[in-house]
Amino acid sequence: MAQFSDPNAWQSWMKTPQMDMGPIAKTMADLGATIDPAELGKLQQDYMQQLTVLWQDMLAQKTPAIADKRFSAPVWQANPLHAFNAAVYLLNSRFLLAMADAVEAKPRAKQKIRFAVQQLVDAMSPANFLVTNPEAQQKIIESKGESLAKGITNMLQDLQKGHISQTDESAFEVGVNVATTEGTVVFENELFQLIQYQPLTKTVNERPLLLVPPCINKYYILDLQPANSLVKYAVEEGNTVFLVSWCNPGADLGKTTWDDYIQKGALKALEVAQEISGQEQINALGFCVGGTVLSTALSILYGRGENPLSSLTLLTTLLDFRETGVIDVFVDDAQVLLREQTIGKGGLMPGRDFASTFSSLRPNDLVWNYVKSNYLKGEEPPPFDLLYWNSDSTNLPGPMYCYYLRNMYLENNLRQPGKLTVGGQKVDLGKIDTPIFIYGSREDHIVPWTAAYESMSILNPKKPARNRFVLGASGHIAGVINPPAAKKRSYWTNDAPAKTAEEWFAGATENPGSWWPEWSAFLAKNGGKKVPAPKKPGSAKYKPIEPAPGRYVKVKA
């Protein structure tokens, strides 16, 4: 980046391939976005002032301070040119993002523009390229070229896999050192297997617990390893636990619909858990999309006059899709219509596409960090169970996925009573009548916690006191998977009535550690009396099929 020795070079640099604004300019034009000339002039003036200071510092051989973890290695500061290169990149990043924030456009259009700029900015970091990364260059010299050869090998292997390796995938095997809580598959159909877990206490709550994880991921995020397994914790707390292990659809399930996931999936799982336990009412938990599926199924049962639950737990679940965070940039009329035309009547939404989408939401952590370490420096990623799960992708049937996109994300039809019909029954979430525990994660970029809080006004509208909201620290996954023994993070509680999420948080109390004990107490309160633990899984009708984790979770996308 020697061209930055000239403080006037920013104008030509903006037109170079390394920071080509053409696609973003086109996006702005397509979205009808503009920038106020006066605001743009101010941004340019501020930029030139800061660039001039950097240029003068470089001429004076004064190394600029850099407060960014991507450039924290001492070698970036050891050579003034590398430090200047990083500093100019950060200045340009701030300028481009400030321009995006200054755009005058509709909120959704503005979000798309800022997302596109952020992707460009993150991709063009000098840490991402061998020619501008002194850490990688130093390692090549120290290893006498071995790091470069290893990096090329890593890249070729990832090209064969179809994804960037974020962990040592050879270190884990489902059923061996992840998804190891002892249990038995007691039912299966084409969409899911139902696992019943082995009791770990002599007595259990009379009413069992059914877990419905997201069908967009493998279930074992809830059962990674014994130390961080929500499943094992629930069993240890004296619950008879059933869990839905969704299939990983192949071409034979390419015509499966949203109705199928409700009727053959969630409703059937509820029915089997009731029959095996002999309980008319059970506790149920839905996580993320699993919570959306479960809530839809429950609205059908309650709409029929049935009363199947003693309690409902929703973890990072959207029922109101007005606020969907950064994922909103991927959903608009054109994109949904394209999906409908290609896979809406049959086909699959590939799991690798989901993985790419979610990685793009945090590209520095989930993409470029590994490009730098795996390819430029030839390092092997360390074993990490959560990232192993993250790379274990799941397909979705096209018709089901397109219905979900249009009716939830695009049109927000689920929260409108009677707008949708599933299984011949009008969907009305307000008819669900049971104590409800709603959890959100404060830094969740997939289900913003304020959006999760909206379920408080949708469910039990006539009995709002039956709803309880708990807010955990951290993000979509790390906030949920926070075992008490780890003594990490914190959570917020507030049992006073509040009309909005902001009002709720203003009166909330922060508590150290995990929110899991709060949830366990909720389950116990709604679990009925203590009874002897089941001596064996299943029943005369539902005989054991195979040990957990079962076959379905092992199928690769």
pLDDT (0 to 100) of residue 36: 85
Is 336 inside a domain boundary?
no
pLDDT (0 to 100) of residue 15: 40
239 burial (CB, 10 Å; 0-12 / 13-18 / 19+) is: buried
Do 11 and 102 have their domain in common?
Answer: yes
Is 47 inside a domain boundary?
yes
Is 283 inside a domain boundary?
yes
Do 76 and 215 have their domain in common?
Answer: no
Do you find a cis peptide bond into 549, omega within 30 degrees of 0?
Answer: yes
Element containing residue 210 per DSSP (H, E):
strand 209-212
pLDDT (0 to 100) of residue 22: 57
Do 106 and 206 have their domain in common?
Answer: no
User: How many beta carbons lie within 10 A of that of residue 183, not counting itself?
Assistant: 25
Distance of alpha carbon 278 from alpha carbon 283, whole angstroms: 13
296 in Cβ contact with 268 (< 8 Å):
no
Structural domain ending residue among the three candidates 106, 133, 160: 133
Is 125 inside a domain boundary?
yes
pLDDT (0 to 100) of residue 462: 92
277-331 pLDDT, tens digit each: 999 999 999 999 999 999 999 999 999 999 999 999 999 999 999 999 888 888 8
Do 308 and 433 have their domain in common?
Answer: yes
Is 370 inside a domain boundary?
no
Do 445 and 545 have their domain in common?
Answer: yes
Structural domain ending residue among the three candidates 95, 115, 133: 133
Q: What is the domain-level CATH number for residue 447? A: 3.40.50.1820
Range of the domain at 84: 2-133
Collect all residues with Cβ–Cβ distance below 8 Å to 355 and sequence separation of at least 6.
163, 390, 391, 393
Do 117 and 193 have their domain in common?
Answer: no
- pLDDT beneath 70, residues of the chain: 1-32
Do 6 and 128 have their domain in common?
Answer: yes
Is 265 inside a domain boundary?
yes
Is 83 inside a domain boundary?
yes
Tell me the CB-side half-sphere exposure of residue 468, using CA atoms within 13 A: 18
pLDDT (0 to 100) of residue 1: 36
Distance of alpha carbon 260 from alpha carbon 264, whole angstroms: 5
- What is the domain count for the chain? 2
109 in Cβ contact with 34 (< 8 Å):
no
Distance of alpha carbon 4 from alpha carbon 44, whole angstroms: 15
Do 108 and 247 have their domain in common?
Answer: no
Do 229 and 304 have their domain in common?
Answer: yes
Do 108 and 191 have their domain in common?
Answer: no
287 burial (CB, 10 Å; 0-12 / 13-18 / 19+) is: buried
Do 313 and 457 have their domain in common?
Answer: yes
Do 431 and 518 have their domain in common?
Answer: yes
Collect all residues with Cβ–Cβ distance below 8 Å to 250 and sequence separation of at least 6.
348, 395, 555
Residue-level length of the chain? 557
Computed on alpha carbons and rounded to an integer, the radius of gyration of the chain in Å comes to 26
Structural domain ending residue among the three candidates 133, 161, 196: 133
Is 468 inside a domain boundary?
yes
pLDDT (0 to 100) of residue 106: 85
The model carries a pTM of 0.90
Catalytic residues: 288
Alpha-carbon distances of 393 from 214, 381, 396, 399, rounded to whole Å: 12, 19, 10, 19
